[in-house]
Structure 1
Amino acid sequence: MKLYKSCLLTAALLLSSLEDAYTTDQPREQKSDNVLTVQNSKVRFPTDEERFVLPNIFSPIKALVDPKQGLQKKVASLQKAIERKEKVVSSLNDQITINRIERTRTIDIINVYQLRMKKKPSAVAEEFIKQNLDKLEEKLSDIDEKLKSLKNQLDGHEEDIEYQTLELGHLEKLKNQDLDLQK
């Protein structure tokens, strides 16, 4: 109750200071027809300091006079903060589930390698030898194919060489016959 009274007193003082800020410098004159006029009066406008200070003074008073509005603003800001925190928590939960999945995958891979290592060394060696033999067989078949193609090329070249030697021999015989005839 004391707080309420002090707020009302402060508000009244502020209102009176505002009222004084907008009063005229010269007194009003009354004419005969009961109309109030002001001659050569100047209105005093509030200074820059008063313009910026007075609204700041009224804001706590408004919050005290209308507590519901202040509480509603606080509740709204708290709700927004809670929503932001919930988003952060949900993203953290998503990351945790992803990490769990990755962890189980790596554990499974490790278990598979452990099982392979527990096999007898001879069985592991046999698998290794089989794999290497298969690779060697593939390489040998590739080499055989290359050799066959090279042999075919050589056979083709040999036939060409034989044909060319036969032609040369035939040409030499013809030259010899021509030389014999010319003599």
Structure 2
Amino acid sequence: MNLGIVGQAAGLFAVTNIDDILVLSLFFAQGARHPRSARRIVLGQYLGFVAILAVAVAAAFGATFLPESAIPYLGLLPLALGLKAAWQAWKHRDDEVDEQQTTEGGGPKALEVAAVTFANGGDNIGVYVPVFATAGVGGMSVYLIVFLVLVAVWCFAGRYFATRPLIAKALSRWGHLLLPLVLIAIGLLILIEGGAFGL
């Protein structure tokens, strides 16, 4: 395996996914008191990222599932999820939070995490396609392996940050407000940068 390509793949992944660590930390904080939520978050992150890679690989071979003009509208996914999370936070604003309370099915759902990951990575597709197309099948395989390994590293980093005492305390106190704000901001940024709705 060419170490130069591995380094390039790692660098490309880091540059195009740095914002995912913040989102993952918020998801992990949201699911902190819910058994198995970490598993759902990791599954969702992988589902979303594999979908990004599938579209990028297909486009590198000449297939187009999403017209370029449709990519900005992916911002509607995190925007909708952010508005839903904001509504939930508003609805439960006066509820007493029991620190010991745990619920089996609580916390982020895998498909919600996947939707945010895919939408947030819509612009990554535009970066990955020319890289994959010029790397050839062998080089593309290295990129895919490195990317999939680094998704696990990103999940670990997100969980690590969410469980540091100082950060965990802040996220526990403010995470229910931060998550909707971050999702709404991501959604609006995708829509505005892509010129959706003539923005």
Specify the TM-score bucket, using the shorter chain as the normaliser.
under 0.3
Structure number with larger C-alpha Rg: 1
Q: TM-score, normalised by structure 2?
A: 0.21
Q: TM-score, normalised by structure 1?
A: 0.22
